[in-house]
Amino acid sequence: MRLSALACAAFASVAIPAAVWAQVDAPPEKPAPAKTPTEQGTPQAEPADPNTGGLTLTGGVDYTTAYFFRGYNQEDTGLIFQPYVTITATLVSNDNFTLNGYVGTWNSFHEKRTGSTGSNQAWYESDLFGGLDLTMGKFTLGTVYTFYTYPNGAFQTIQEIGFKVSYDDTDMMKKMGVNFALKPYAGVYIETDDGNGTEDTYAEVGIAPSIAVGDTKLTVSVPVALGLSLDDYYLESNGDNSTFGYGSIGLFASYPLPIPEKYGAWTITGGVQYIYLFADSAEAVNDGGTNDEVLGKVGISFAY
């Protein structure tokens, strides 16, 4: 799992051998169809899709006051911009199931040149990913393979395969007289190659409820996530596995921009996220060794 240069210095005070560190989600799972945004990509309402073809292009850029990846502090000072883009293809669609394939990239640029050792000093991270989402009824099963790369030399490339299941409980909640859905999900992410240390395993469970505010076109979402360690992704101060890594809750508002439909559907989103760190390894690399953080985020996204 990755740690910033400053984070490594802070963690040196904890008696854990360096060999136990592999790398850590930018993304969060990265912004991709049928994936719940967590660390990467601002949570947002799904815009109307003017594209009726088999290919969909989505993307955007976020500004965040701090970049936490699965509870690990990457950078919390200076300007941080995170652009991303994904191309999705509908491979199969019938009455029984839908199969979508996608490829994309997610990036993080830091004014503070976090951990820089190369020429692309501000370009901290560039992730390349591709996956498949199989939707059957209300369930979506997904798999994604991600290459986490670091153009400024902060870390070696890390590879990871992830598996995720999500459930759309919208209809069930409506039958109960509730006008919002929880949309629960669970995922497991296994590092297959880590040039920085050992290959570890991360898990995440969460919900992604959202609600439209009357006829205002405004959508409010409250994403909640719990990060877990299945194999040394988070550690106690004595080097043992720490099952609970971090928890987070956010409050975001999204609003569609008045842009002609032929240019795609554009949305502006902003909000705050609270992160609480359970694991000693996550707390040790946070500024001052504190166990919580509040960050703000604003972004603009499109779908075409």
| Rounded mean pLDDT, 114-129 | 94
| pLDDT tens readout for residues 158-173 | 999 999 999 999 889 8
Instruction: Return the residue matching tokens 């609600």.
Output: 211
Instruction: Return the residue matching tokens 């569609």.
Output: 256
| pLDDT tens readout for residues 234-264 | 999 999 999 999 999 999 999 999 999 999 9
Instruction: Spell out where the chain has E strands.
Output: 55-64, 67-69, 72-75, 80-93, 98-110, 123-136, 139-149, 158-167, 185-194, 201-207, 210-213, 218-221, 224-231, 244-256, 265-277, 292-303
Instruction: List Cα–Cα distances, 133 to 12, 90, 193, 284, in angstroms.
Output: 41, 10, 23, 36
114 compared with 10, residue with greater pLDDT: 114
Residue 290 predicted with pLDDT over 60: yes
* Rg value, the chain, Cα: 19
For residue 86, give both structure tokens.
């994904």
Instruction: Identify the pLDDT of residue 287.
Output: 84
Q: What is the mean pLDDT of the chain?
A: 87
| Rounded mean pLDDT, 10-38 | 35
Q: How many domains does the chain have?
A: 1
**Do the beta carbons of residue 207 and residue 187 sit within 8 Å?**
no
Strands 72-75 and 80-93: unpaired
- Name the pTM for this structure: 0.84
CATH number at residue 21: 2.40.160.40
**Do the beta carbons of residue 189 and residue 203 sit within 8 Å?**
yes
| pLDDT tens readout for residues 56-104 | 999 999 999 999 999 999 999 999 999 999 999 999 999 999 999 999 9
Residue 209 predicted with pLDDT over 90: yes
| Rounded mean pLDDT, 287-304 | 94
Task: Classify 171 as helix, strand or coil.
Answer: helix
| Rounded mean pLDDT, 117-136 | 95
**Do the beta carbons of residue 214 and residue 193 sit within 8 Å?**
no
Residue 142 predicted with pLDDT over 50: yes
Residue-range definition of the domain harbouring residue 275: 5-303
| Rounded mean pLDDT, 211-232 | 95
- Which residues contact residue 214 at a Cβ distance below 8 angstroms, ignoring those fewer than 6 apart? none
- The phi, psi pair for 262, rounded to 5°, reads -65, -15
Task: Classify 198 as helix, strand or coil.
Answer: coil
Residue 36 predicted with pLDDT over 50: no
Residue 17 predicted with pLDDT over 60: no
- The phi, psi pair for 231, rounded to 5°, reads -155, 85
